[in-house]
Amino acid sequence: MASFDIVSKVDAQLLDNAVNVTRKEILNRYDFRDSKTVLELDKKNSVIQLTTENDMRLRAVEDVLLTRVVKQGLDGRSLDFSQEAAPSGNMIKKELKVREGLEKEVIRKIVQLVKDGKFKVEATQMGDQVRVQAKKIDDLQAVIAAVRRADLGVPLQFVNMKS
């Protein structure tokens, strides 16, 4: 039986490269001269920590980071910019969470989409991913196309294609 998995993962090395390039660009920018801006990637917790002096510089760092993430080939939706910045003395701190794994709500939407599409496949939840199985690879490719068109608001990858 042919199968594949629908997952949401971020390549840690590409993300690390994007953070390092962003850090270098900030050091070279004129508007960040004599700035105490710090950008750190916590790989263990999948969090990027931004610390800077004011809101304008924070927004500039976020823009540069998002640009570098996209240029590295990662999906910009994998970073969660929704958390508000918190003042800490004369500095502003903000944590950007890196979204990895599918939430239960998104998994339900994917499984429901597959069922509503009346494909000759079986979609099951396996932890934070969805496994899709079928007898024919053509049915699996139709499911991939349908899920890509559905725009669920999270970056999706289709991995472990087995025939």
Domain at 65, CATH number: 3.30.70.990
Kindly report the number of other CB atoms within 10 A of residue 94's CB atom. Answer: 18
Q: Which domain holds residue 93?
A: 12-98
Kindly report the number of other CB atoms within 10 A of residue 41's CB atom. Answer: 20
| Number of structural domains found in the chain | 2
**Which residue(s) pair with 126 in the sheet?**
129
Domain end (from 98, 121, 148): 98
Show Cβ contacts of residue 55 under 8 Å, excluding neighbours closer than 6 positions. Answer: 85, 92
- Which parts of the chain fold into alpha helices (H)? 12-28, 55-71, 104-116, 137-150
> Are 119 and 93 within one domain?
no
> Are 51 and 86 within one domain?
yes
Domain end (from 53, 76, 98): 98
> Are 18 and 47 within one domain?
yes
Q: What is the pTM (predicted TM-score) of this model? A: 0.83
> Are 115 and 147 within one domain?
yes
Is residue 114 within 8 A of residue 149, CB to CB? The reply is no
| Rg, the chain, Cα only | 19
> Are 46 and 111 within one domain?
no
> Are 116 and 158 within one domain?
yes
Average pLDDT, the chain: 89
Give yes or no for residue 40 having a pLDDT over 80: yes
* Helices and strands in the chain: count of H runs, count of E runs: 4, 9
> Are 122 and 150 within one domain?
yes
Token look-up 């660009």 returns: 25
> Are 92 and 153 within one domain?
no
143 pLDDT band (50/70/90 cuts)? confident
Render pLDDT for 64-80 as a digit per residue (tens, 0 to 9). 999 999 999 998 889 98
Domain at 109, CATH number: 3.30.70.860
Interatomic CA distance for residues 72 and 67, integer angstroms: 9
Domain end (from 98, 117, 136): 98
Render pLDDT for 2-30 as a digit per residue (tens, 0 to 9). 888 889 888 999 999 999 999 999 989 88
